[in-house]
């Protein structure tokens, strides 16, 4: 089959673009004609150039009567969210890697057929990445897979201050958007433009791939969502056991205060660990480990090399029972020393907190916003706040006994953060995270994990202590460097 992909010639980092995929005619087909057939296809593409990784697109096709022989599939439209940390000025290339077709008759699976392209397969589509707008709205939907009738959590930044928001559920190609896709919803935007709230997927919603669209006035943003019976953050009641902790991939948009550099994007891999079982009222430890303990890497042109500073990381972890209870736990790590050196890693031990189990049920835990602080002489000199920009998978679950907690509107639970003192040293890091890697950072290749906006914080904090960066305006410093 000759697959082609068409789309725009350029797009901004973080933007949503429409692509048209034409699968062409399949080289093999059914030897006999079949009635009432559904084929669920998943196309996997490799990303290279401005960003490395993989991208899946799903397409479901129904045949009242499946013909014999090869099938000439119709072109279909998909939405690609350009990675927020894709390198501006470079081409982002898509190479078709794999196709998996699941054939069903009358709704019952018949066969799963994986297909791979031939050896001469190459890039099928590429476009130039432009610098993204740091003030563009972001939308995070968690979990990324949910059961009909269950809740998703909405979060984002840079929305119209105090605006009125609504959520709609759309088809995977972005069409057919309707508020009726949710049986209940409570999106809200505060005075700083921060979006929060929940939405309950309609109980009669069919399994499949969808887009969640949030709109506030003229501003809108979409995020992918998979609806699947038996999937999502809460397994069915009864004898189901909680999932094992797994490493998940989190994309961030980071802003540093004081504003010593423009906002930027980053990605990290995080594993949250909790006890698998507990009872209402128990106080349990919630722990988060970053891949290899790395929360940042100094750039090659870092200022003030050889200087030692102190750093600290804090992470919000979202909690949901899938039945209306949502909350967030604030985890903190120890203060650690870092010696500023070009290319040196910034590492932290595990972030921890004590959490009081609010009731019985199956609770799911999802990594959220990250805060990174730089200190000099015990005083905070700079802070980088990283907001989640895309869908994040559930990383851990806990099954608790007791009366179910009442539904809530979210918020941060007042817990006790762990590891808030002590000195681990710049070379220490967490070890042995579980699960499958969500991928390293494109800017550093296979062992990288860079928080771009945080990369110069340590150096700028040192210079701030010398009375340079906080006294001389940023534009004058820029001209001086030029």
Q: What is the pLDDT of residue 264?
A: 54
pLDDT-derived band at 119, boundaries 50, 70, 90: low
Q: What is the pLDDT of residue 309?
A: 76
User: Residue ranges of the domains in the chain?
Assistant: 4-130, 134-232, 237-482
Greater confidence, 176 or 26? 176
Q: What is the pLDDT of residue 301?
A: 54
Name, in order, each residue with C-beta under 8 angstroms of 134's C-beta and a sequence gap of 6 or more. Answer: 253, 255, 262, 263, 264
Greater confidence, 272 or 69? 272
Greater confidence, 428 or 54? 54
Using CB atoms within 10 A of its CB, is residue 323 exposed (0-12), middle (13-18) or buried (19+)? Answer: middle
| Angle (nearest 5°) at CA 445 between 443 and 448 | 80
Asked if the peptide bond before residue 258 counts as cis, ω within 30 degrees of 0, the response is: yes
**Intrachain domains 4-130 and 134-232 with the same fold:** yes
Pairing of strands 379-388, 351-356: unpaired
What value does the mean pLDDT take over residues 400-413? 72
Spatial contact of 174 and 222, defined as CB atoms under 8 Å apart: yes
Instruction: Render pLDDT for 121-150 as a digit per residue (tens, 0 to 9).
Output: 789 999 999 987 778 888 888 888 888 999
Q: What is the pLDDT of residue 197?
A: 92
d(CA 359, CA 364) in angstroms, rounded, equals 13
- On the question of pLDDT at 481 being above 50, the answer is no
Give buried/exposed letters for 403-440 (b at 16+ CB in 10 A, else e): eebeebebeeeebebbbeeeebebeebbeebebeebbb
Q: DSSP characters for 435-467?
A: S------GGGGGG---BGGGTTHHHHHHHHHTT
Q: What is the pLDDT of residue 336?
A: 84
Instruction: Render pLDDT for 98-112 as a digit per residue (tens, 0 to 9).
Output: 888 888 887 777 777
pLDDT-derived band at 302, boundaries 50, 70, 90: low
Q: Which residues pair with 243 in a beta bridge?
A: none
Among the residue ranges 26-35, 208-217, 289-298, 335-344, the one predicted with the least confidence is 26-35
Q: What is the pLDDT of residue 7?
A: 95
CATH number assigned to the domain covering 4-130:
2.60.40
Q: What is the DSSP letter of 359?
A: S
Greater confidence, 350 or 341? 350
Greater confidence, 323 or 120? 323
Spatial contact of 398 and 365, defined as CB atoms under 8 Å apart: yes
Mean of the per-residue pLDDT values for the chain? 77
Among the residue ranges 52-56, 314-318, 452-456, the one predicted with the least confidence is 452-456
pLDDT-derived band at 472, boundaries 50, 70, 90: very low
pLDDT-derived band at 265, boundaries 50, 70, 90: low
Q: What is the pLDDT of residue 27?
A: 65
- On the question of pLDDT at 452 being above 70, the answer is no
The overall longest dimension of the chain from CA atoms, in Å, is 80
What value does the mean pLDDT take over residues 252-280? 77
Among the residue ranges 204-208, 332-336, 387-391, the one predicted with the least confidence is 387-391
Q: What is the pLDDT of residue 298?
A: 59
Q: What's the whole-model pTM score?
A: 0.44
Give buried/exposed letters for 153-166 (b at 16+ CB in 10 A, else e): bbbbbbbeeebebe
Instruction: Render pLDDT for 24-73 as a digit per residue (tens, 0 to 9).
Output: 887 666 667 778 888 888 899 999 999 998 898 888 888 888 887 777 88
Name, in order, each residue with C-beta under 8 angstroms of 218's C-beta and a sequence gap of 6 or more. Answer: none
Q: What is the pLDDT of residue 115?
A: 81
Q: Which of helix, strand or coil describes residue 147?
A: coil
Q: What is the pLDDT of residue 259?
A: 57
pLDDT-derived band at 120, boundaries 50, 70, 90: low
Among the residue ranges 278-282, 289-293, 340-344, the one predicted with the least confidence is 340-344
Q: What is the pLDDT of residue 304?
A: 61
Spatial contact of 387 and 369, defined as CB atoms under 8 Å apart: yes
Among the residue ranges 41-45, 174-178, 296-300, the one predicted with the least confidence is 296-300
- On the question of pLDDT at 447 being above 50, the answer is no
Among the residue ranges 242-256, 301-315, 448-462, the one predicted with the least confidence is 448-462
CATH 2.60.40.10 assigned to 134-232: yes
- On the question of pLDDT at 374 being above 70, the answer is yes
Q: Residue 41 has which token pair? A: 């296809």
pLDDT-derived band at 209, boundaries 50, 70, 90: confident
- Classify residue 55 as left (phi > 0), alpha (psi -120 to 50) or beta: beta
Q: How much of the chain, in percent, has pLDDT values that exceed 70? A: 76
């Amino acid at each position: 089959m000759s697959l082609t992909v068409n789309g725009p010639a350029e797009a901004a980092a973080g933007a949503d673009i429409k692509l048209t995929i034409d699968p062409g005619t399949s080289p093999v087909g059914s030897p006999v004609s079949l009635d009432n057939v559904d084929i669920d296809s998943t196309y996997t593409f490799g990303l290279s150039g401005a960003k490395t990784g993989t991208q899946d697109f799903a397409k479901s096709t129904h045949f009242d009567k499946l013909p014999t022989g090869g099938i000439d599939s119709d072109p279909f439209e998909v939405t690609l969210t350009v990675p927020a940390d894709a390198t501006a000025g470079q081409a982002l290339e898509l190479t078709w890697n794999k196709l998996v077709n699941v054939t069903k008759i009358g709704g019952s699976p018949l066969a799963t057929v994986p297909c791979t392209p031939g050896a001469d397969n190459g890039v099928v589509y590429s476009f130039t990445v432009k610098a993204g707008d740091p003030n563009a709205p972001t939308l995070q939907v968690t979990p990324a897979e949910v059961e009909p009738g269950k809740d998703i959590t909405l979060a984002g930044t840079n929305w119209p201050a105090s605006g009125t928001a609504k959520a709609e559920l759309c088809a995977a190609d972005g069409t057919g958007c309707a508020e009726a896709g949710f049986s209940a919803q409570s999106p809200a935007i505060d005075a700083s433009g921060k979006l929060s709230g929940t939405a309950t997927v309609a109980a009669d919603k069919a399994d499949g791939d969808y887009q969640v669209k949030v709109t506030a006035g003229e501003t809108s943003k979409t995020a992918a969502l998979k609806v699947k019976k038996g999937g999502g953050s809460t397994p069915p009641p009864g004898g189901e056991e909680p999932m094992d902790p797994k490493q998940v991939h989190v994309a961030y948009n980071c802003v540093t205060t004081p504003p010593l550099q423009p906002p930027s994007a980053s990605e990290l891999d995080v594993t949250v660990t909790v006890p698998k079982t507990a009872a209402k009222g128990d106080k349990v430890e919630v722990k988060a480990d970053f891949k290899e303990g790395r929360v940042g890497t100094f750039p090659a042109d870092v200022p003030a090399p050889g200087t030692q500073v102190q750093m600290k990381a804090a992470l919000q972890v979202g909690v949901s029972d899938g039945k209306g209870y949502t909350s967030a736990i604030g985890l903190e790590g120890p203060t650690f020393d870092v010696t500023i050196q070009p290319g040196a890693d910034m590492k932290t031990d595990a972030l921890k907190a004590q959490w009081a189990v609010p009731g019985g049920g199956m609770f799911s835990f999802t990594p959220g916003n990250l805060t990174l602080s730089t200190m000099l002489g015990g005083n905070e000199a700079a802070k980088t706040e990283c907001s989640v920009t895309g869908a994040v998978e559930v990383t851990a679950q806990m099954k608790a006994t007791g009366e179910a907690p009442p539904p809530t509107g979210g918020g941060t639970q007042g817990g006790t953060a762990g590891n808030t003192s002590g000195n681990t040293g710049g070379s220490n890091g967490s070890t042995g995270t579980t699960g499958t890697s969500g991928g390293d950072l494109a800017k550093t290749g296979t062992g990288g994990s860079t928080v771009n906006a945080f990369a110069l914080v340590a150096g700028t904090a040192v210079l701030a202590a010398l009375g340079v960066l906080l006294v001389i305006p940023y534009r004058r410093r820029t001209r001086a460097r030029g």
